[in-house]
Structure 1
Amino acid sequence: MTTYPKFGAGLWHFATYVDRYAVDGYGDPRTTLDMIELAGKVGDLSYVDLPYPFTPGVGVDEIKQALAAHGLEAVGITPEIYLRDHVKGAFTNPDAGARSRAMDIMHASAEVVRELGATYVKLWPGQDGFDYPFQVNHRQQWKRSVDGLRELAGAHPDLKFVIEYKPREPRVKMLWDSAATTLLGIQETGLDNIGVLMDFGHSLFGGESPAAAAQLLIDHGKLWAMDVNDNLRGWDDDLVVGTVHMTEIFEFFYTLKINGWEGVWQLDQFPFREDSVDAARTAIRFLKALYRALESLDMAALAEAQERHDAMAAQRLIQDALLSSMTSAELKR
């Protein structure tokens, strides 16, 4: 039997959703405990990333009990610094009170990381940015964001913080929008407990090569976590991983493998109309096949093809590995 990496998922994978058309939602609301129960039904999940605050009435003790009951552990805590109170930003909000409230949520999330024994606080500052030219003072925005990040991580030197970058949405232009920009901001803090959670779909959506972005982050020692999903490149669709960009996700994981990167293979998917447990199982089915393809890939021959910049030789090797893994008897288990 193949020994696979550990798989995880953002707990929001098991939520129900609304959008600007189905404003009444795609299902009845679920509590944090409901979502943990669904995550436990997948069978191959070991970790979840939990949004914080939890749903009303749910405390850390209840979360501990639910995780244990379903064979799960917390890998990260994601403070919700992108909701109504933060529509003009968390770190960069022009209202000092709103900035302070956002910091309170992030500090509280750090305490939850300690209590649950999680690996990191994940920061997704989705509202930090702008929508129109001339709307903001760009120097002030950048300074507030870097200073706020330094203040937060500096107050918890025993913990890891990861930033998840994205080019846009909900803001038309997000401040932490690429691997390179995020690296620069981290370097400016002068702290060594801040890294990056790279979302494969955000990288695609932002026009990056996910494999090249991953290599850049690895070379700077800052790729500390990752999420995988898929999209049609025009938007952050959060589709099931491998359903669109199979070759590029393979190159992404190949890059992790040749660099000896080890960590949780984590899903960040939004199955609006699909069954969330089935979507997770389908994603992990693909990731297992991809893992086997990496094991069978002729690395030496691929390195030789890359040395010659021989695209067709490289593609034949990739196709052989991927297609054989997808027809493996083990895939049917």
Structure 2
Amino acid sequence: MSSEQKFGAGIWHFATYVDRYATDGYGAPRTVVDAIELAGQVPDLSVVDLNYPFFGGDFTREDIKAALDAQGLEVIGITPEIYTRVFAKGSFTNPDPGVRELAHELITEAADVVRYFGADYVKLWPGQDGWDYPFQVDHGALWKNSIDGVGRLAAENPDLKFVIEYKPREPRVHMSYSSVARTLLGIEKIGLPNVGILLDFGHALFGGESPADSAQLAIDHGRLFGMDVNDNLRGWDDDMVAGTVHPIELFEFFYTLEKNNWKGVWQLDQFPFREDSVAAATSAIDFLKAVQRALAKLDFAAVQEAQDNHDAITALRLAQQALFTSY
């Protein structure tokens, strides 16, 4: 495990939030520049994922770069907002071809922003793509549009990576890219090398998956291009601070990445509604650094031997000793 591991966060971690109860928000509104300034206060945070368009004002790419440079931050990815009101009936799967084209144009703009910042990928979270009711959609047509929409972008931008962040539901009751297996099926159907998965630890939990198993499956198919971590109570995508609820499963997730020599940014996707955003990010990264130390002391050969015998008690004892003595 490299001591130079990079840690990142979605810039939305440092925004303010609303929900259907506190419609006035959990704090004063912040611009993306405000959020970047807060991100710069987190020790060991070096990269951010940016929403596009930039929120909170009329900012140019140059404005954002100046703000990032002032905080010593780089960009890992750009997340186009293809889940807002205009896309209420879907982005790739919208029944209106004009709206589908609008989504394509917005993502194409985001691709140019990726190039400008020298980022790693365009992140696709088509949260409004899917359906809510029986008989609402033609499932064959919906899935075809999901695949064709991503495939067209990847074909037109072969120099860039496109990562799909799957999620079971919310805001749609059934999201089109809902699981690791379904997303891999879609990617294989697209058949292009620059399309992969961004695996959100909490989405895997929420979907009833084992995040470690999901990571292994994506790695085995050569499609794990990025990852986010957070935590939840499995009943909803709570986006809580990483390691607060499922520390052992999070450790197993990183063990799986390390065992497969997967390298990449350890990225936070958290929504600290009521918590101080800088403190929440700092706490999560402190835990991830403990995971890093635990991986360095974990006896991988002994864990493998226990796993070869399906010996849960021995494997868990080794994992618990490594993790709980590293914090």
Structure 2 length-normalised TM? 0.98
Q: How many Å apart are 1:163 and its aligned residue?
A: 0.3
The corresponding residue for 1:239 is 240
**Offset at residue 128 of structure 1 (A):** 0.2
Give the corresponding residue for 1:224. Answer: 225
Residue 320 of structure 2 corresponds to which residue in structure 1? 319
Matched, 1:95 2:96: yes
Q: CA deviation at 1:4?
A: 4.3
Whole-angstrom CA distance in 2 between matches of 1:43 and 1:242: 18
> Residue 78 of structure 1 corresponds to which residue in structure 2?
79
CA shift for structure 1 position 308? 1.1
Which amino acid in structure 1 is aligned with residue 233 of structure 2?
A: L
Shift in Å, 1:159: 0.5
Q: How far apart, CA to CA, are the structure 2 residues paired with 1:304 and 1:152?
A: 44
In the TM superposition, 1:1-333 aligns within 5 A as 3-55=3-55, 56-326=57-327
Q: Distance in 1 between matches of 2:324 and 2:43?
A: 25
Name the aligned partner's letter for residue 12 of structure 2: W
Cα deviation for residue 307 of structure 1 reads 1.1
CA contact (8 A) 1:4 1:291 kept: no
Question: Residues 211 and 251 of structure 1 are in contact (CA less than 8 Å); yes or no, is this contact kept in structure 2?
Answer: yes
For residue 150 of structure 1, report the CA deviation from its aligned partner: 1.0
Shift, 1:191, TM fit? 1.0
Q: Number of residue pairs matched? A: 325
Deviation at 1:303, TM superposition (A): 1.0
User: Take 1:183 and 1:315, find their aligned partners in 2: how far apart are those partners?
Assistant: 30
Moved more, 293-302 or 2-11: 2-11
Give, in whole Å, the separation in 2 of the partners of 1:319 and 1:147: 45
For residues 102 and 25 of structure 2, the distance between their equivalents in structure 1, rounded to whole angstroms, comes to: 28
Cα deviation 1:71-108 (Å, max 9, x = unaligned): 00000000000000001000000111111111111000
* Alpha carbons 1:230, 1:245 under 8 Å: kept: yes
Task: Report deviation, 1:300.
Answer: 1.1
CA distance in 2, matches of 1:129, 1:239: 25
What is the rounded CA distance, in whole Å, between the counterparts of 2:170 and 2:209 in structure 1? 17
Q: Distance in 2 between matches of 1:325 and 1:50?
A: 32
Is the Cα–Cα contact under 8 Å of residues 4 and 288 in structure 1 kept in the other structure?
no
For residues 152 and 3 of structure 2, the distance between their equivalents in structure 1, rounded to whole angstroms, comes to 41
Q: How far 1:44 moved relative to its partner?
A: 1.1
How far the C-alpha of 1:11 sits from its partner, in A, is 0.3
Query: What 5-or-longer segments of structure 1 have no aligned partner?
Result: 327-333
- 1:141-160 CA-to-partner distances (Å, cap 9, x unmatched) read 00111111111111101111
Amino acid at match of 1:245: H
Letter matched to residue 325 of structure 2: S
CA distance in 2 between partners of 1:159 and 1:266 (Å): 19
Distance 1:317 1:151 in 2: 47
Supply the AA of the counterpart residue of 1:151: R
In structure 2, how many angstroms separate the alpha carbons of the residues matched to 1:81 and 1:235?
Answer: 21
Question: What do the CA deviations read for 1:155-210 (whole angstroms, capped 9, x no partner)?
Answer: 10111100000000000110100111111111111211101100000000000010
Q: CA offsets, 1:258-283, max 9 Å, x none? A: 00000000000000000000000000
AA matched with 2:298: L
CA distance in 2, matches of 1:311, 1:96: 52
In the TM superposition, residue 12 of structure 1 has moved relative to its aligned partner by: 0.3
- Of the structure 1 ranges 29-38 and 76-85, higher mean CA displacement relative to structure 2 is found in 29-38
Rounded to whole Å, the distance in 2 between the matches of 1:107 and 1:237 is 30
Q: Counterpart amino acid of 2:236?
A: W
Question: Which amino acid is 1:107 matched to?
Answer: T
Aligned residue for 2:146, secondary structure, equals helix
Give secondary structure in 2 for the equivalent of 1:135: coil
* Aligned counterpart, 1:329: none
